[in-house]
Chain A
């Protein structure tokens, strides 16, 4: 029988299809892993509902579990349990290293336009806070576009949800 730890370790090797430096475990979308004999039940919480990467992640999880010699059962949980606060500290650091500014904590309250328009977001390249909002929306549902006026570099900001 495969151990839950072995399953977590295998899942930690599955990259996000769109930001491959970050794994599905870093993203916090794996809510629970339960092993019952040969069967491995994974609870998977989607990020953004229109994200086309979700099916790819779900299928990749099933294949990894099969490779461990177990029977996967991936349950997609459509409740409110995922927020960007579920991204792990390692995940946030990996995002920064690949040029994405990590999401602001949701714990601070509902995101407000006035906050996005402020210069509170740090440029992932030079660390400056002299940044401005260019577009609430970006190339994928999870990102906004910002511009750093210090190093004159556009960058992508992970949305807080």
Chain B
């Protein structure tokens, strides 16, 4: 791998890892306050998996950069994160949470499929391992899609949330993978957002990310260099 290829690989790993870390953090915000105990357990467990995926992806990037997963996850400034704005949104409402969950997991599936076929055994191997767990996240999201689509009110609320989040969801994937995802989602839901929407691109941290960062890195910043 030459220098440019290695830099591109690190960028890709950081995009993936930042998405999983921030989404894991957002999902964990339902711990203790989800609408039912079962969903409390589900969102907490999904959050734990996503943060585990983030750690493994950061470790691959850290080996290339000569640093550690913790430093990448917690010692960067907010404007150095590469997360997609979709995962940064703080969702206080359940239908929007489910819409984001489904939109993210379906986009992530397309991305992981592509990575499994990548000409990079480390990346392809890790993607295949991550996929074994992601299957369960998608099952959970699909269950909720069925449930919401089964009633008029559920469909309406899901549709409103999907339309609102559409430009954010488009920003998760690069241009080459977007059409596959869009086609699958429209086929599954029977609707989607406006097709000519401009995606909300990654790499421009939102105010919501800055707030999350303050909280996420607080303990580490309070005792720089401490070993836990």
Contacts and interface: CB of A to CB of B under 8 A. Distances in A.
Interface of A: 48-51, 78-83, 110-113, 116, 134-141, 145, 159, 161
Interface in B10-61: 38, 41-42, 44-46, 48-53, 55-56, 59-60
Looking at chain A's contact residues, is the secondary structure mostly helix, strand, loop, or mixed? loop
B52 A50 contact: yes
A136 B140 contact: yes
A141 B56 CA distance: 16
Interface string B51-75: 1110110011000000000000000
Given A78-B125, A79-B129, A49 B42 contact: no
Interface stretch (B131-139, B160-168, B172-180, B212-220): B131-139
A145 B140 CA distance: 13
A2 B56 CA distance: 32
Interface string B81-125: 000000000000000000000000000000000000000011001
Contact of B41 (A110, A113, A139): A139
A132 B169 CA distance: 34
A89 to B, nearest CB: 21
Given A78-B122, A113-B139, A49 B56 contact: yes
Contacts, number: 79
Contacts of A113: 139, 142-143
Given A137-B41, A139-B41, A159-B136, A50 B48 contact: yes
A111 B142 CA distance: 14
A49 B49 contact: yes
The number of chain B residues touching the other chain, given as a range, is 20 to 34
A48 B136 CA distance: 12
A137 B45 contact: yes
B41 A135 contact: yes
A161 B46 CA distance: 15
B45 A141 contact: yes
B126 interface: yes
Given A113-B139, A135-B41, A138-B41, A48 B128 contact: no
B130 interface: yes
Most chain B beta carbons < 10 A, residue from A83, A116, A134, A141: A141
A81 B129 CA distance: 8
Contact of B135 (A48, A51, A78, A110): A110
B51 A50 contact: yes
Contacts of B56: 49, 78
A136 B49 CA distance: 13
A83 B133 CA distance: 11
A134 B133 contact: no
Contacts of B140: 136-137
Contacts of A81: 125
Nearest to B136: A136
Contacts of B136: 111, 136-137, 159
B24 to A, nearest CB: 8
A50 B126 contact: no
6 closest Cβ pairs, A-B complex: A50-B52, A79-B125, A49-B52, A80-B128, A137-B45, A161-B132
Contacts of A139: 41
